[in-house]
């Protein structure tokens, strides 16, 4: 009996070491510890997953079937709108988290970049054209072409444009919105910054009142010159709108234009068969007795003594409003 008891004592530890551990029926718990902002503009979303014990993961994006995924996962090219990621862990025993972790967020369209204004009510800016360039409807290389900048004006002087706004696109390209001398009048478009030179600021603005037959020059918002003028006849009207002074000319052989003339960006919508398409000018006259009135083919006529005074105060690039 003593020997048998001793045998039992010696065998008991061996049996304990051979016992199998109890079955594991406890599933892991899953957490999403990193994700995008709840409201984001990026189409890329990165996530980090953890579990309460060693495990593998499965993920479901926006209700798609679950598929194996790593603990660090990224989704790219996502659409604008609401999205949700669900993740569940599976432990070594095959237990699956029955309550997957969920992360919801929304991708919104980024706010369009705000243009920076270059020309205002009292001070405007112009720039010379350095390269022949395409003018586009929007600040994008894929946008519709609306015109092309020329290096020279119809008078064979260096071309210039009134610059209105500046905008940097998503790729860092700098675009400038410019006023362009084309029909229909009052058009603006966008060119790449490299097509034009440095800016020159002008504190002047010229306003023509067709019904009152007046022209007024403002400097820093204050009227500094005013005179009576002649404008286009009803059959050849002076166009209305927003324009600018492109060129200053003198020493004409023909006294019809007076001593000085200014070329503008305005064009006649009637005299399209004229050289260079019928650009509107501001010039003197050898028939001062006709002024004021509707006397021209669209140009603005001034008495010679008046335009000489104006010429001392009016720089090129000055914005011109014709009402």
* Catalytic member of 59, 69, 83, 283: 283
Q: With beta carbons less than 8 A apart as the criterion, state whether 298 and 271 touch.
A: yes
Q: Token match 């569940």: residue?
A: 88
CB atoms within 10 A of CB 1: 5
CA angle 253, 256, 257 (to 5 degrees): 80
Can you tell me the distance from the alpha carbon of 220 to that of 214, in angstroms, rounded to the nearest whole number? 19
* Catalytic member of 69, 83, 279, 299: 299
Q: Is 133 helix (H, G, I), strand (E, B) or coil?
A: strand
Burial of 39 (0-12, 13-18, 19+ CB in 10 A): exposed
Can you tell me the distance from the alpha carbon of 118 to that of 115, in angstroms, rounded to the nearest whole number? 9
Q: With beta carbons less than 8 A apart as the criterion, state whether 18 and 30 touch.
A: no
The counts of H helices and E strands in the chain are: 2, 26
Q: With beta carbons less than 8 A apart as the criterion, state whether 126 and 161 touch.
A: yes
Q: Is the dihedral of CA 257, 258, 262, 268 positive or negative?
A: negative
299 tagged catalytic: yes
The catalytic residues are 283, 299
């Amino acid at each position: 009996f003593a020997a048998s008891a001793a045998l039992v004592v010696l065998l008991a530890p061996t049996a304990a070491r051979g016992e199998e551990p109890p079955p594991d029926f406890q599933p892991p718990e899953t957490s999403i510890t990193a994700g995008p902002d709840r409201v984001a503009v990026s189409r890329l979303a990165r996530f980090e997953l953890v579990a309460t014990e060693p495990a593998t993961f499965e993920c479901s994006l926006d209700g798609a079937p679950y598929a194996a995924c790593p603990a660090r996962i990224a989704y790219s090219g996502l659409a604008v709108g609401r999205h949700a990621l669900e993740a569940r862990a599976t432990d070594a025993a095959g237990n699956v988290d029955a309550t997957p972790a969920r992360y919801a967020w929304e991708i919104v369209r980024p706010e369009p970049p705000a243009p920076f204004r270059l020309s205002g009510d009292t001070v405007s800016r112009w720039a010379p054209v350095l390269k022949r360039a395409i003018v586009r409807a929007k600040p994008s290389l894929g946008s519709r072409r609306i015109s092309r900048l020329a290096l020279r004006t119809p008078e064979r002087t260096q071309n210039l444009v009134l610059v209105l706004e500046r905008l940097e696109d998503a790729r860092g390209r700098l675009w400038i919105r410019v006023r362009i001398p084309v029909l229909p009048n009052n058009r603006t478009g966008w060119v790449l910054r490299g097509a034009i030179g440095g800016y020159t600021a002008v504190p002047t603005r010229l306003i023509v009142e067709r019904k009152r037959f007046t022209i007024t020059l403002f400097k820093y918002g204050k009227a500094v010159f005013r005179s009576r003028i002649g404008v286009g006849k009803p059959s050849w009207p002076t166009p209305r709108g927003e324009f600018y002074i492109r060129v200053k000319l003198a020493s004409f052989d023909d006294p019809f234009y007076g001593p000085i003339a200014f070329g503008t960006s305005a064009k006649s919508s009637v005299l399209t068969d004229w050289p260079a398409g019928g650009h509107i000018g501001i010039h003197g006259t050898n028939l001062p007795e006709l002024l004021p009135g509707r006397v021209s083919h669209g140009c603005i006529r001034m008495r010679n003594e008046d335009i000489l005074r104006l010429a001392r105060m009016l720089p090129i690039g000055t914005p011109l409003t014709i009402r």
